[in-house]
Each structure stands twice: as C-alpha cells, then as structure tokens.
Chains A and B, each alone.
Chain A
Amino acid sequence: MSDVLLEARGIVRLYPGNIALKGVNFRIHRDKVNVLIGENGAGKSTLMRILSGVEQADDGEIFLEGQPVRIRSPREATALGIAIMHQELSVLPNLDVAENIFAGRELVRGRTVIDKSTEDDLAQRALARLQQRLKVNRQVAQLSLGTRQMVELARTIAHGARILILDEPTSALSTSEASALFRVVEELKASGVSIVYISHRLHELLHLGDHFTVFRSGQVVGEATRAQVTREWIVERMSGRPEEKTLNGAKLQRGSEVLLEARGLTLAASVGDEAAQAPVHDVSFSLSKGEIVGIYGLLGAGRTELVEALAGNRKLGRGEILVRGKTVRIGSVSDAVRAGIVLVPEDRQRDGLVPDLSIRENIALAATSGPVVSRQKELERVRSLVRELRIAARDLELPVIALSGGNQQKVLLARCLMRDPVVLMMDEPTRGVDVGAKTEIYRILRELAARGLSVIFTSSEIEETRLLADRVLVLCQGRVRIELQKDELTDEALFAAASPDVVSTKSTVGVHA
C-alpha cells in the first residue's frame, strides 16, 4: 500500500485576469495530517475546491490510490470519501443541526420517508465525538459561528470520510474549541482518516502537521516533513524572502491632532441568517492625524461590526463618535461619508464592486458632489488616483472584474479616496490579494498616513497587524482586551490577548455583570 493516498498532478486553474494555480503537484499522505501553508490568494483554497468537486481544474490529473479519478461535483467527491469543511461556513441556517448534518444525504426509510429519529441519533453521536453538547433539533440560525462550524465538522464525520479537508478551521474558534478540534484531528488521524489542514497559525501547524506543503502565487514552493520544518523555513518559503521584522517605508509625520474619537460604542448581538452580528461592548478609542490603528481579533470578535458601525452601515446601540472634536450623528453611510469616514469592506465582491461597471465607473461611483457631474474633472481625478495607487489596468473602460484581486482592492481604495476622507478604514485590507499587491497596499496605506490621513484597519492576521499598525486594539468578544503600542507588538502578545480565556468561552450567551 502506497504512502500516497491522493495525488494531484499539474493542476491548472484560470480565473478571469488571474492564474490561480500554475501547474501544481500535491500529495495527500495516508493517515497523516497534510499541512498546506501560504498567504491569502496563494491558491490553497482553490486547489481544495478542485479536490472536493466544487470547481473543476482547467488542466491536470487527480489519482486516488493510484487510479485516475474525475471529481465533477461535491457529490462525486463525497462518493470517493473526500469531505471538506469550507472556510466560509456553508450551513443551511433555516434547518436544524441534525438536518444539516444529513443535508443532501438524508437517511430514508422505505425510500421516501426521512428517518428523523435515526438521523438525530447519529447526529448526536457525531457531535459527541466532537465533545459538543448541543441539541440536534436546534435551528442552526440560532447558533454561534463557532458552533456552526462544529456542525459542519460533524457533517463530515458522520459520513465517514477518508480524506478530510479543513480550510482554516480555527479562524472562528475560541481557544478551548480549537483545542477540542485538535484532539478530534488527532483522533481521526489515528482512526485512519487522512487530513488536509490549512491554516495561517504557525503554532497550530507545527503542533499538528506531519507533511508540509507551501504555496506561493499559485505554485508549490516547498515541501517537507515535520522533522525538517522550522518556523523560519515556513515564513521564508511563504513570503519568498527572509522574515521582515518591521515595515520600512515612509516615515510617519504624526501630529497630535485627534481626528476621530469613539466613546462607548456598543452594538447588540443578533442572530439570524442575514443579520448575524457579534456584539460590541463599550469600545472607546481615539485616532490621531497620520496614525494607523489596527483592530485585531478572532472571527466573531466584533471587528467588522465595529468598523461598519463607524461607517454607518450598522446601527449603533449606544455611544458617541467625534470627528475633529465635534460630535457627529452617523445614522447612515452617507452620514459617515459626509463626516469624512469611509470604509473599504471586507468582502469586495459582495459589498464593494459593481461587477458590470467599468474600472472608471467603479472608482467614480457615488463620488459626485454637486447636482451636475463634470465628466472631464471626474476623469482627471480618477486617472490621477489610478496613477497614484498604481492600479495596473490597460484601459479604464474595461469591466472591473478583469482586474486581479489586488487591483480590485485598489479600485475600492481609490473610490474611498475620491470622497476626500478624514478617516480611511479597511476591513481586512489584503484579503484575497497576492503577496506583491499585499506589500503595495501596506506601502500605500503608509504613504496616505504620512500625508495626514488617519487609517483604521482590521485584520485576523497577526503578521499583518504587527507590520502595519502603529497601535493595535485587540478585540475579544466585542470588548477591547488591550491596547498595544508599536513596541509591544509581538505574535504572542497579540494571540494571547485575542483568545477568549477558558472560563468565559460560554459567555456569548452569558450575563455580563
């Protein structure tokens, strides 16, 4: 029996304006934890979507147990014993826990009737293996993000997968949930499940991994076994250069003038399909001219909620926002823009770009100030921003989706800058952009800050937070855990502050006295 359970050879995947995978070879070793590392946009998730039948490769072959296989749908992947837990949660919010676990593979009696009681039973057992005490008849819309993920994991377990792909499974989990997950991973490995594990958290990978594969810009740039791997090896392979300790760039000219002040910002939690929102409790901070403040926290810590409230996109429960010392009432996005606060959203496909419009139109969208738009002036302004941000576009009249992720991000940045903001906010500034564009976005933010703009960014990446921020607010369960100055920023400090401690992990529904 070969050590290699699944092998992918020469996998190519093309996206419009971007080659996601450039002929990748990847092996899944039997009964091992196969770790996949790489920056956002390096192609890890794309490869996993191909292996799980969600997407099709444009070229290349896949061998399972040495036999060529074609995986054309999630259903075929399941039939081959390949299960994936996606990075974005993919649960059916309006169904209950057991129904989710058996979605698409219902147990039936007499070929028509769902055997609900057996389903409930098996679901309960799968959850028990994950050490989850959860009612199987609870509607999933009512569960926290972390618990929803456990439901997804239970789904893969219940169907006896022999290859289990975990795409950043811990990004939403609390420390205790994560260590429960590690136990499960170890146990599954021992019981003969081969695991593919994708994560950004190096300590997790070093703890769990047996085989390591590093991706960069759609290629495999390194392979090694646990014994050969060190932290430095990973970082160097990932970034293609020795680890940077600090970011060089424009020296900031920080004035003492406070541009933005937030006092006691509070948002109530809500649970629902669309309106799911983590709570934010009593967050206060100030932002000086030319300063870059990072907001770091795990998924569900309230990062997005906080910046979206400042941008007028979410209703503030309580609290006060002052711009240049004057209280402003922000009830809508246009209120925020008028006050000089703009946001580049986290999910640019959903909340940012208008895919059918051209690059120029996307930048100029909503930038009109008077009743009549001067096309000439607008075009000049757009052109100067395109030059300044180095947006790589042959023609500004091309549809915006022709651009790579990094350039799309710059388009949104340009749109925000069209409005002459005082405070620029970016929610996950480098999500889904390649390494080169990442460094460039950092440089641009630095330059903008040096020219007197104040910048707030949120991030779930420790490195990014450490490199970019002058000061960091660490959010944990909606509260500011700690405020760290530039010289206090270490991976350990950030991680420790962001992780909920064991005692309070259940307190998403607890009483805050």
Chain B
Amino acid sequence: MATLQVLTRSDRLASSSARTVLLLLRARALVVLVLLVIVFSALTPVFFTTNNFAILTKHVALSAILAIGTTFAILTGGIDLSLGSVAGLSGMVAGLVITSYHQGAFAAIVAAILVALLVGLLNGFLVVRAGVAPFIATLGTLYMARGAALLLSSGRTFPNLASKSSAVAILGQGAFLHIPVPVWLMLFLYGVAAFVASRTPLGRHIYGVGGNERAARLAGIEVSKVKLFTYLTSAFGAALVGLIIASQLDASHPATGESFELNAIAAVVLGGTSLSGGRGSITGSLLGAFVIGVLADGLVMLGISEFWQMVITGAVIVLAVAIDQFQVRLQARLLPFLLRSDIEAGA
C-alpha cells in the first residue's frame, strides 16, 4: 500500500505541473502576443504609442474579419480559399455600381454583399451537394471570382469613388470615439461570432460536424445547412473587407485581396484551431490575427527587411502548428493522470 500512495502523490505533482503546461500551451496565442508586445516595446520607443496602435489595429481588422468565416469553415473540417478573391470582387461590384450605374454608397454595399453571398452559396453548393472537397471547390471559386473582378472593368481601376458618392469614405476612413470604423466592425462581428459559436445551437452544430460528421448526422444535426452557413459567413466577411479597402483607397482595384485567404488561415491556425476541425475558438483567431499584425508592424519598425519578415512570419506559423500537435500528444499522454487526480479530488 505504501508504494501505491507514493505513486499517486508523484502523479499528482506531475499532473499539477502538467496542467500548467497545458494551460500555457492552450493560451499560447495570448502568451506570444504579450511577449511580442513587450519585446517590441523594449526595442523601439515608437512601438508602444497610441498612434502606432491605431494604425496597427486598422490593419489587423481586415485579416481578423476575414478570419471569422475561415474559423467557422475550418471548425467544420472545411476551408475557404476564395475569400481574398471575393473581397476583390465585391470591391469591384461596388465601384461598378457607383461609377457606371451612378448609384449611392448604400446600393453599392448591398450589391457587393449580394454578389459575395452568391459566391458563398456556390461554395456551399459545391461542397454540400456536388460533394467537391472544400479545398478544390473554393480553389475553383478563387479563380472564378478573381476573373469576374477583372472582367467587370476589363482589368482597370474604378477611381475617385468618394467624389461620386461621399458616403463611401465612412466605412474605411471614418471613426467613432477616435476608433476607426473597421475596428468597430471587427469588435462587433467578433462579439456576434463568439456568441454564435459558444451559446447557440448553430455554434454547437459547427463543432459537432467537425468533431464527428457521421455522429452529427445521426444525432439529427443538419450537416448541409451548417456547412452552407460557414461558407456564407466567410463570403460575407470577405465582402466587408473588400468594401473597407475600396473605401480606404477611394477606389476599387481588381487585384485587391490577393493571398488574403492565406493570412486568414494563418491567423486561425495561430489561434489554436485545428485544421482537421472540431477544435478551436473564435477569440483565438482574433489573437492570431493580432500576433501576425504585431509581428509585421514591429519588424517594420525595427527596420528589418520585408523579405525577412516573410521568412519570420512563415516560421511562426509552422512553429504554431508544431506546438499544436505537441499539445494534442501531451494531452493524450497526460489525460489518465489528470483524470485520476480528478477522481481523487472527489469528482
């Protein structure tokens, strides 16, 4: 009996430090973010300033908004590669409506969002009905949407939008309580998305489909509708980003949003969402977007070349996924210990 007790005591010790390690691993996006802020603040005096943070958050807002739809898609075990192109297309649609049809900003926004949702619907249809793998389906629509964006203007830019409809500037350049409109949008959308993910049946179904699609179907969850929702959300976010950029530039350019989908996926993965679905969180993606944003911003301030920035960002992403795998393995290894200490604690 004596050996038994010694065993359990050392197990309990192991489990308490294991818990701490697990907790740190799970919150790694936050840990990394805090570390980055500390390091950059120490290295350059202009980093920790209101002005810099205003610019920084405005940049981050774009990839963060895109990351919402991506998070949902990835949580169900899918992916959406088309959203960069969709952002570009919706900006062009808005430009076209204002320039060629002489409509106001409101009509332009509605038209842009509708067109984007159409692409989202197509993605959903391809994945749910036609059974095309999400990667391929959205790769196809990536090309189609970019092509459509170029076709709308024969590859030209729609310039000087604000001169035709002054409301254009609000979305990208406006501010409320000194905080830029895109940042407000980001905060609002993240609030809604986090609520949907954690508090509504739909959110639970998204996790369920990603966790075990077959079991989800057997439990009566409408898997097709859940997946369709994720692609529509993703397209909606892309439309907003396209509109914000058009507003910021006061012009819509058909190449807008190229490779944005990769930034969004990077943010999602950094935030701890598993590419195989079922595990992750909305707030994690927000943190992930900030990690990438802070990294880019800080490296620029330190005068590190753009080329090195790419290398470093890539390394951080790969490292994040490696750590994710490590966490999963560690958790599986430690679980028997953790459970045991739970039982002893009188669970």
| A129 interface residue (CB < 8 Å to B) | no
CA distance A139 to B346 in the complex (A): 18
Given the interface pairs A90-B214, A90-B218, A272-B332, the reply to whether A103 lies near B208 with Cβ below 8 Å is yes
Cβ-neighbour of B211 out of A89, A92, A510 (below 8 A): A92
* Interface pair B4/A511, CB less than 8 Å apart: yes
* Interface pair A90/B332, CB less than 8 Å apart: no
| A74 interface residue (CB < 8 Å to B) | yes
Given the interface pairs A135-B347, A272-B328, A511-B8, the reply to whether A95 lies near B208 with Cβ below 8 Å is yes
* Interface pair B200/A273, CB less than 8 Å apart: no
Given the interface pairs A75-B220, A90-B218, A106-B201, the reply to whether A95 lies near B8 with Cβ below 8 Å is no
CA distance A40 to B326 in the complex (A): 40
Given the interface pairs A74-B217, A92-B211, the reply to whether A114 lies near B200 with Cβ below 8 Å is yes
Given the interface pairs A78-B220, A103-B216, the reply to whether A94 lies near B201 with Cβ below 8 Å is no
* Interface pair A513/B3, CB less than 8 Å apart: yes
- Which one of B4, B199, B210 has the highest number of Cβ atoms from chain A below 10 Å of its Cβ? B199
| A105 interface residue (CB < 8 Å to B) | yes
| B300 interface residue (CB < 8 Å to A) | no
| A91 interface residue (CB < 8 Å to B) | yes
CA distance A371 to B276 in the complex (A): 36
Collect the chain B residues with CB atoms within 8 Å of residue A93's CB. 211-212, 278
Given the interface pairs A92-B207, A113-B199, A113-B200, the reply to whether A74 lies near B3 with Cβ below 8 Å is no
| A73 interface residue (CB < 8 Å to B) | yes
| A270 interface residue (CB < 8 Å to B) | yes
Collect the chain B residues with CB atoms within 8 Å of residue A510's CB. 340
* Interface pair A94/B211, CB less than 8 Å apart: yes
* Interface pair A99/B336, CB less than 8 Å apart: no
Q: Mark B210-226, 1 if CB is under 8 A from A, else 0.
A: 11101111111110000
- Which one of A103, A114, A275, A511 has the highest number of Cβ atoms from chain B below 10 Å of its Cβ? A103
Collect the chain B residues with CB atoms within 8 Å of residue A511's CB. 4, 7-8, 340
Shortest Cβ distance from A268 into B: residue: B333
* Interface pair A90/B278, CB less than 8 Å apart: no
CA distance A153 to B207 in the complex (A): 21
| A104 interface residue (CB < 8 Å to B) | yes
Shortest Cβ distance from A93 into B: residue: B211
| A482 interface residue (CB < 8 Å to B) | no
Q: Mark A100-139, 1 if CB is under 8 A from B, else 0.
A: 1001111010001110100000000000000000010000
Collect the chain A residues with CB atoms within 8 Å of residue B217's CB. 74
* Interface pair A92/B8, CB less than 8 Å apart: no
Collect the chain B residues with CB atoms within 8 Å of residue A392's CB. none
Cβ-neighbour of A271 out of B8, B199, B211, B336 (below 8 A): B336
Q: Mark A268-281, 1 if CB is under 8 A from B, else 0.
A: 11111101000000
Count B-side interface residues using an 8 Å CB cutoff: 35
Shortest Cβ distance from A73 into B: residue: B220
Q: Tell me the residues in window 245-304 of chain A with beta carbons closer than 8 Å to chain B beta carbons.
A: 268-273, 275
CA distance A271 to B329 in the complex (A): 10
* Interface pair A90/B335, CB less than 8 Å apart: no
Collect the chain B residues with CB atoms within 8 Å of residue A444's CB. none
CA distance A100 to B219 in the complex (A): 9
| B26 interface residue (CB < 8 Å to A) | no
Collect the chain B residues with CB atoms within 8 Å of residue A273's CB. 211-212, 278
Distance in Å: Cβ of A252 to nearest Cβ of chain B: 42
| B279 interface residue (CB < 8 Å to A) | yes
* Interface pair A94/B207, CB less than 8 Å apart: yes
* Interface pair A86/B220, CB less than 8 Å apart: no
Shortest Cβ distance from A104 into B: residue: B220
Given the interface pairs A94-B278, A104-B221, the reply to whether A509 lies near B211 with Cβ below 8 Å is no
| A80 interface residue (CB < 8 Å to B) | no
* Interface pair B336/A103, CB less than 8 Å apart: no
* Interface pair B204/A106, CB less than 8 Å apart: yes
CA distance A169 to B263 in the complex (A): 47
CA distance A509 to B340 in the complex (A): 6
Q: Tell me the residues in window 211-258 of chain B with beta carbons closer than 8 Å to chain A beta carbons.
A: 211-212, 214-222
Distance in Å: Cβ of B154 to nearest Cβ of chain A: 44
Given the interface pairs A92-B208, A511-B8, the reply to whether A271 lies near B220 with Cβ below 8 Å is no
Collect the chain B residues with CB atoms within 8 Å of residue A114's CB. 199-201, 204
| B146 interface residue (CB < 8 Å to A) | no
Q: Tell me the residues in window 1-29 of chain B with beta carbons closer than 8 Å to chain A beta carbons.
A: 3-4, 7-8
* Interface pair A92/B7, CB less than 8 Å apart: no
Cβ-neighbour of B205 out of A74, A104, A116, A271 (below 8 A): A104
* Interface pair B221/A103, CB less than 8 Å apart: yes
Collect the chain B residues with CB atoms within 8 Å of residue A92's CB. 207-208, 211-212, 215-216, 219, 278
Given the interface pairs A74-B217, A103-B221, the reply to whether A275 lies near B332 with Cβ below 8 Å is yes
Distance in Å: Cβ of B309 to nearest Cβ of chain A: 35
* Interface pair A270/B333, CB less than 8 Å apart: yes
* Interface pair B339/A142, CB less than 8 Å apart: yes
Collect the chain A residues with CB atoms within 8 Å of residue B347's CB. 135
Collect the chain A residues with CB atoms within 8 Å of residue B331's CB. 272
| A323 interface residue (CB < 8 Å to B) | no
CA distance A268 to B7 in the complex (A): 17
| A5 interface residue (CB < 8 Å to B) | no
Shortest Cβ distance from B335 into A: residue: A271
| A54 interface residue (CB < 8 Å to B) | yes
CA distance A272 to B340 in the complex (A): 16
* Interface pair A90/B212, CB less than 8 Å apart: yes
| B343 interface residue (CB < 8 Å to A) | yes
Could you list 13 further interchain pairs (A-B, Cβ under 8 angstroms) beyond the known A94-B210, A513-B7?
Answer: A74-B218, A78-B220, A89-B215, A91-B212, A92-B216, A104-B220, A135-B347, A269-B336, A270-B333, A271-B332, A271-B335, A272-B335, A273-B212
**Residues on B facing A (Cβ under 8 Å):** 3-4, 7-8, 199-201, 204-205, 207-208, 210-212, 214-222, 278-279, 328, 331-333, 335-336, 339-340, 343, 347
**8 pairs, CB–CB < 8 Å, chain A vs chain B:** A92-B216, A93-B211, A95-B211, A99-B204, A104-B219, A116-B199, A270-B335, A271-B335
